[in-house]
A = this chain, B = another copy of it.
Amino acid sequence: MCRWLAYSGSPLLLERLLYTPVHSLIDQSLHSTLGATTTNGDGFGVGWYGESETPGLFKSVEPAWNDRNLRELAGHVRSGVVFAHVRAATGTPVQWTNCHPFRHGNWLFMHNGGIAEFQTLKRDLQLAVDPSLFAAIEGSTDSETFFYLALTMGLKDDPPSAVAQAVGFIEATATKHGVVDPMQMTVATTDGTTVWGFRYSSEGKSRSLFYSEQVSAIRKLYPDLEILDEVDDESRLIVSEPLRDLPGAWHEVPESSYGVVQPGEDELHPFTPVR
């Protein structure tokens, strides 16, 4: 479906995240090994925090692997909180407004997976979006509607609870329409300070998701790893696929769980939809 990367830590040039690693996200756009599809060429997006409270967005409908503007941006923009996403469309148009990450105020949200039979559920789901938010839905993806449901259910106050409620509502709506196992997701969201990453699917076989080991531990395992010179111990990645083959450096996010990357100790919790 899609592949994504969320980074929080020492400010890095985007290219260190997007291009330098052997199996970088750009490489995954062309040669995904763990994804539902090999090619993720239906547009891409990058969101980053820096010059203002609201994050910047750069999205395009062209494949990431040969996009010159992305290469340029990556070589000239530095940030400490970065979301990046390469898309494999599943029915909805390839257009800017359908590219992830989505933004609302200073929040970003991105999604890999999908809502089964979204066209059937779409109206009921969008009716549940807060009327004051309804007109802000710009694209036509299931992911953006999911984001607006989560916003409606309090994403900005309590992300894990809001996502759990949104997923519960989607599952309940699906049941009403006879749609089985509607939710397939890995999701990341951030306010620019804390990053939340979720892995869940109704059928219990979720898309791949990994987080990086603590930098201090990776330093012991791979003292010569170049990138470690640039990042402090608070830095962490959540990714659809490991960016390099480094035994011990990556951990799978368990089924039905979510992680919190934040100043101080990070956290990992079980995730259960709330109906």
Q: Using a CB–CB distance below 8 Å, which chain A residues touch chain B?
A: 13, 30, 38-39, 41-42, 48, 50-52, 54-63, 65-66, 68-69, 72-73, 75-78, 89, 92-97, 118-120, 122-123, 127, 131, 134-135, 137-140
Contact = CB atoms under 8 A, between A and B. Distances in A.
A186 B225 CA distance: 44
Contact of A62 (B54, B61, B77, B138): B61
Nearest to A121: B135
* Integer count of this chain's copies in the complex: 4
- Of A13, A50, A56, A131, chain B has the most CB atoms within 10 Å of the CB of A56
Contact of A127 (B13, B56, B127): B127
A108 to B, nearest CB: 13
Contact of A96 (B48, B68, B89, B131): B68
Contact of A135 (B60, B73, B94, B119): B119
A77 B61 contact: no
Given A38-B38, A60-B69, A72-B56, A123 B94 contact: no
A78 B51 contact: yes
Contacts of A63: 41-42, 63
A65 to B, nearest CB: 8
Contacts of A51: 13, 75-78
Nearest to A68: B96
